[in-house]
Amino acid sequence: MTRQYFGTDGIRGRVGTPPITPDFVLRLGMAAGRILASHFDEPAVLIGKDTRVSGYILEAALEAGFASSGVDVVLAGPMPTPAIAYLTRTLRLSAGVVISASHNPFEDNGIKFFDGQGEKLPDAMELEIEKVIDQPQFCADPHLLGKARRLDDAAGRYIEFCKGTFPSRLSLKGLRIVVDSAHGAAYHVAGSVFHELGAEVIPLGDAPDGFNINQNLGAASPQAMAQKVLDVKADFGIALDGDGDRLAMADASGRLFNGDELLYVLARSRVRHKGKGSVQGVVGTLMSNLALEHRLEAMGLDFRRAKVGDRYVLEMLKETGWELGGESSGHLLCLDKHTTGDGIVSALQVLAALVWSEQSLEEYLGDLQLYPQVMINHPMAADLDWKNHAGFQRVYQDVSQAIEGSGRVLIRPSGTEPVLRIMVESPDKAEATRHAQALADALT
């Protein structure tokens, strides 16, 4: 069955434009409630959200939809996506729902689901929901209606969970850390985690107003965090995205480090401290830097590429039985610590590696030099058939032959935006730029 609503990371779009409208979200809640009620005797869901102003109306619509289908609702308020995954599991609920558009601007919003184990909702259940969402919905009998309550201690529970993933014999005392929450869902929890582990925290992006989420801040725009590190002479900078599952970091010099580099830190640290056998392999994506693959293989570790999207990284990790995976965008998975990507938990694992080694990020990554990747996002018109575009395919073949053995070409439609992503990777940045531009020009 072809997906109509669910993308690689739930349902997402501009608020007020289908499907992100109150009436659709109400029907989504009713449809999801019907499916949950068919699988569980006493279904209950946890609903969390980020700080977008639209979260109020979408939360109310979801709550009404679930309750009208006989599903109890627990409201967590603004909380990071990984917090909802953790709390859903620890509270033994049927599912968790997050209202967020992650790193997108405030005008967008979205809905994504977790199952009762705190993992992405299986494709099969998403398809079940899609199958009934456009059918006539109905309200349960009055004596079967669901109830709603608020989880008042959600933040405290999650803070303690995050702290528990950091080695108890280590401390962050003596470190000054800039923590950029992107005015998003982690604004009231991220700083507390690092502070309670001993660090001096300089907060950034911790004053959401409903409209400023991800605005020139966060993991997708980490330059402000890096500059703040320089301004206050901090040791590290940590930038999360709007829903707290993505991570970027900076060192004392203001140099930024992306997800590929941080994933390498996690793999190398585990090999150092737990032995080579503790890490059989690492999962990246089609976008992961070729240099990362080469370096991990030099360490004797297998490396596999999943489709872009942390759900696909997770699927491959479960298939292989491995624990470490991630995307260059900063979605990192440490399945020995959490069931899903978590920016705060990932940052703690990186910091633990550096505290253990008494090295800076740059020193720890001294043997990994990423290859330049040039990305062009070409507008994806409805009638653009790039696979059968003769001129584009001719240029694609020419570029592929020119960099064969030393680089890569990757063409893929975005799963979240109406663009065609054109990426060329090569040790020579000028060459990569020239080839990427030639591919984009072939479509104009």
CATH label of the domain that carries residue 398: 3.30.310.50
Determine the structural domain holding residue 329 and report its residue range: 259-364
**Does residue 5 sit within a domain?**
no
For residue 359, tell me if it sits in a domain: yes
The pLDDT value recorded for residue 444 is 82
For residue 274, tell me if it sits in a domain.
yes
In this structure, are 107 and 222 located in the same domain? Answer: no
Q: Is residue 2 part of a domain?
A: no
Q: Is the pLDDT of residue 211 over 90?
A: yes
Q: Is residue 3 part of a domain?
A: no
Peptide bond into 19 cis (omega under 30): yes
- Taking the C-alpha atoms of residue 438 and residue 444, their distance in angstroms, rounded to an integer, is 10
Total domain count for the chain? Answer: 4
Residue 253 near residue 235 (C-beta atoms within 8 A):
no
Point out the domain boundary residue: 312, 339, 364. 364
Please indicate, yes or no, whether residues 326 and 402 belong to a single structural domain of this protein.
Answer: no
Q: Is the domain of 265 the same as that of 225?
A: no
Same domain, yes or no: 120 and 46:
yes
At 175, the pLDDT band (50, 70, 90 cuts) reads very high
Assess whether pLDDT exceeds 90 at residue 206: yes
- Residue 33 shares a structural domain with residue 143: yes
pLDDT of residue 8: 76
- Residue 266 belongs to some domain of the structure: yes
pLDDT of residue 9: 82
**What pLDDT is recorded for position 1?**
53
Q: Give the phi and the psi of residue 247 in degrees, each rounded to 5.
A: -135, 135
Boundary residue ending a domain (346, 364, 382): 364
CATH code of residue 30: 3.40.120.10
d(CA 123, CA 162): 28
Question: Quick check: 176 and 151 in contact, CB under 8 A?
Answer: no
Q: 284 with 176, same domain? A: no
Same domain, 52 and 178: no
Is 1 within a domain?
A: no
4 domain residue, yes or no: no
Q: What is the pLDDT of residue 240?
A: 98
Length, in residues, of the chain: 444
Q: So which residues are the catalytic ones?
A: 102
Averaged pLDDT for residues 170-177: 98
Q: How many CB atoms lie within 10 A of CB 444?
A: 7
Domain edge (last residue) among 255, 282, 299: 255
Task: Report the pLDDT value the prediction gives residue 45, as an integer from 0 to 100.
Answer: 98
Q: What is the pLDDT of residues 71-97, one digit of tens each?
A: 999 999 999 999 999 999 999 999 999
Do residues 36 and 146 touch, judged by C-beta distance below 8 A?
no
120 DSSP 8-state letter:
B
Question: To the nearest whole number, what is the mean pLDDT of the chain?
Answer: 95
pLDDT tens digit sequence for 250-282: 999 999 999 999 999 999 999 988 876 779 899
409 falls in which pLDDT band (50, 70, 90)? Answer: very high
As a whole number of angstroms, the distance between CA 360 and CA 28 comes to 47
Task: Using alpha carbons, select from 350, 345, 347, 348 the residue that is nearest to residue 335.
Answer: 345
